[in-house]
Chains A and B, each alone.
Chain A
Amino acid sequence: MADDTETADTETAETEAADTEAADQETAEEAAPEVETAYGCPVTYSRGQKVIHPSRGEWLDVAVQLLADGWNMCVDVTSVDYLSYGVARELPAGVNAERFEVVASFISHSRAERIRVRIQVPGDDPTVGSLYALYPGSDYLEREVFDLMGISFEGHPDMSRILMPETWQGHPLRKDYEVGVIPVQFKAPAGKGSE
């Protein structure tokens, strides 16, 4: 939560070089967000929280690096359906916005830090690699995403519904899922005669 000075161990040299290079275009440099990467993915900061944006293909490789780099616990896996999101999303250059996003949060106990991963997942092929083999704690969380958002995780040992009944059709957290409404009856229902 604390927006401490970020500790991107990679690419510091490069950004420094970029700084001197663009010293004469200072105004442009200030306006443009810093191009920063971590684990080979673009980095953004959302309210001071570090977020990395791997592509769907490189996602599991990034997860391997995360685990090796001391991010020892996957605390959360969730998803967002951006179908009816009215405004443009703030994404780094080179990341194409897709309908779904899978969002995973990791924690490093030794450094007391958090990092968040946002993966773009297209609406016509909602699949993404499963974290299960790397972080088995993602088991239920991925099942929840599958159940409620309909994104399936490849390599998960039991991609089944967890909260909704097994026979349920549809994925309730999708934005195009009909929300049932039970009208409040102020009058007698139609066909039952008037009062």
Chain B
Amino acid sequence: MTAVEQAPVADTTDVAETIDPASGQLDKLPRRHSVLRMSEVRAAELMDSDPIDGENDQTMLMNMGPSHPSTHGVLRLMLELDGETVVRSKPVVGYLHTGMEKTAETLTFLQGPTNVTRMDYAAPLFNELVFSLATEELIGMEVPPRATWIRMLMCELNRISSHLLFMATNGMDLGAVSMMIYGWREREQVLRFFQKVTGLRMNHNYIRPGGVAADLPDGWRDDVLALMEMLPPRLEEYDILMTGQPIWRDRLQGVGVISQDEAIALSATGPILRSTGVAWDLRREMPYLAYPDVDFDIVVGSYGDSFDRYAIRLNEIRESMRIVHQCLDMMPEGDYRAGDAKVTPPPRARIDESMEALIHHFKIFTEGFKVPEGEVYVAVESPRGELGCYMVSDGGSHPYRMHIRGPSFVNLQTMPHMMADSLIADAVAVISSVDPILGEVDR
């Protein structure tokens, strides 16, 4: 723990009470008193002041993070503790804020994916996908079927690698350190395939408006099959190591429980929402890409606890593998990007023989392509929930405004509710099971 100071925490009124809940969803949050709303200045004042002698009901304010092994990067939690029990908490974010939405306004639509891919760095392809889908929606263009299927294949593999990373960090946070090694090991295999396809392990800039950057390399099918053969026995191992193990279950079951009403009222999406029994997955409910053509199940929980969220992610790996197998079977032949010369660069060979191709190539990379004015909101199901992109174009070659609705950012709101009246050790389990990626939280 980084800073431990004794301080009485008082006089923070629950402002929520002053609002008439009327017909709103506020009543559905019985634990909203656990949301700590305190400025840094006030916290510093309290930390400087002495505890009041003779008072027995004082609480302690403690910072956890921003550089704490279990805070997934740079999340900082301000915890109000009564002994070892968390009374109220406040996630403090912004340590990774680099103004990426502002940056997006200075980059062309073609350069955009290089920017957004750095948001959710555990699932970069989803960021690129949502940005590209929004751009294509504004242009009103169709991408060739092969591009769609490549996108789907890559995204599902990315979902696998992201959930494997969760398995690793979740294990590490709860003391199953060998799981950390296993998770990273398997994830690395998937990233190796990404490197072969996109040239990079992470931050691929692979999915671009109009299609994907390059066709799948020779031998991709064997590589994917090798991955699909490697994973099932490893997942069985995880089950043996963790799922059925009493210590693991004790650590997770009944910890960080959230109800269905709370999850909906707090706009939670992804595994957090599904752990409460809501079978909501954008791939099924509002299909994009070619998801209507593939067969998969939505994994839901019933208790809304950390164990459900763990089990959902583990089984989503299996469902993603089903989709990957279907992608292998149904991958169409054809172009991997749209033939629209105004949007996608011409094939390299054409540049040598065609003046127009050279001009288009030059124009696309210097000025970028123009996107008709309008505004659009597009969302995809990232491993963490609804990843949305609100994009406004003024008819130029740069987005006028680009906003990413990061699931990690919104899901963080559930944390104080899940942690209410739990132990610090369980708070670690909660952070882990919310699985926030701080790059996406702070953007």
Contacts and interface: CB of A to CB of B under 8 A. Distances in A.
A163 B97 contact: yes
B102 A179 contact: yes
Interface in A126-142: 132-141
Contacts of A49: 376-377
B359 to A, nearest CB: 25
Given A64-B23, A136-B26, A137-B265, A87 B373 contact: yes
Given A75-B405, A86-B395, A132-B19, A141 B410 contact: yes
B266 A68 contact: no
Given A64-B23, A67-B24, A133-B26, A112 B101 contact: no
Nearest to B16: A157
Contact of A114 (B22, B101, B286): B286
Contacts of A21: none
Contact of A72 (B264, B388, B392): B264
Nearest to B97: A163
A97 interface: no
A55 B45 CA distance: 42
Interface stretch (A22-30, A35-43, A77-85): A77-85
B15 A157 contact: yes
| Range of interface residues on A (Cβ < 8 Å) | 35 or more
A159 B93 CA distance: 15
B409 interface: yes
B390 interface: yes
Contacts of A148: 101
A109 B278 contact: yes
Interface stretch (B36-44, B144-152, B350-358): B36-44
Contact of A90 (B29, B268, B374): B374
A93 B378 CA distance: 26
| Range of interface residues on B (Cβ < 8 Å) | 35 or more
Interface in B136-156: 137-138, 140
A74 B268 CA distance: 10
B102 A1 contact: no
A136 B394 contact: no
A64 B377 CA distance: 22
B101 A158 contact: no
Contact of B32 (A64, A136, A161, A162): A136
A48 B442 CA distance: 31
Interface in B365-408: 373-379, 386, 388, 390, 392, 394-396, 400-401, 403, 405
A78 B405 contact: yes
Nearest to B140: A47
Contacts of A140: 409-410, 412-413
B22 A133 contact: yes
Interface in B312-364: none
Contacts of A160: 39
B259 to A, nearest CB: 13
A116 B41 contact: no
Contacts of A74: 267
Given A112-B286, A163-B442, A166-B40, A137 B93 contact: no
B288 interface: yes
B375 to A, nearest CB: 6
A78 B390 contact: yes
Contacts of B97: 163-164
A80 B392 contact: yes
B33 to A, nearest CB: 12
Contacts of B93: 162-163
A137 B377 contact: no
A132 B21 CA distance: 9
Contacts of B378: 1
The 4 closest A-B pairs by CB, nearest first: A137-B267, A157-B15, A134-B24, A163-B94
Interface of B: 14-16, 18-26, 29, 32, 37, 39-41, 93-94, 97, 99, 101-102, 106, 137-138, 140, 264-269, 278, 280, 285-286, 288, 373-379, 386, 388, 390, 392, 394-396, 400-401, 403, 405, 409-410, 412-413, 442-443
7 contacts: A76-B388, A135-B267, A141-B410, A155-B19, A158-B15, A163-B442, A173-B102
Interface of A: 1-2, 46-47, 49, 64, 67-68, 72-76, 78, 80-81, 85-87, 90, 103, 105, 109, 112, 114, 116, 132-141, 144, 148, 155, 157-158, 160-166, 172-173, 179
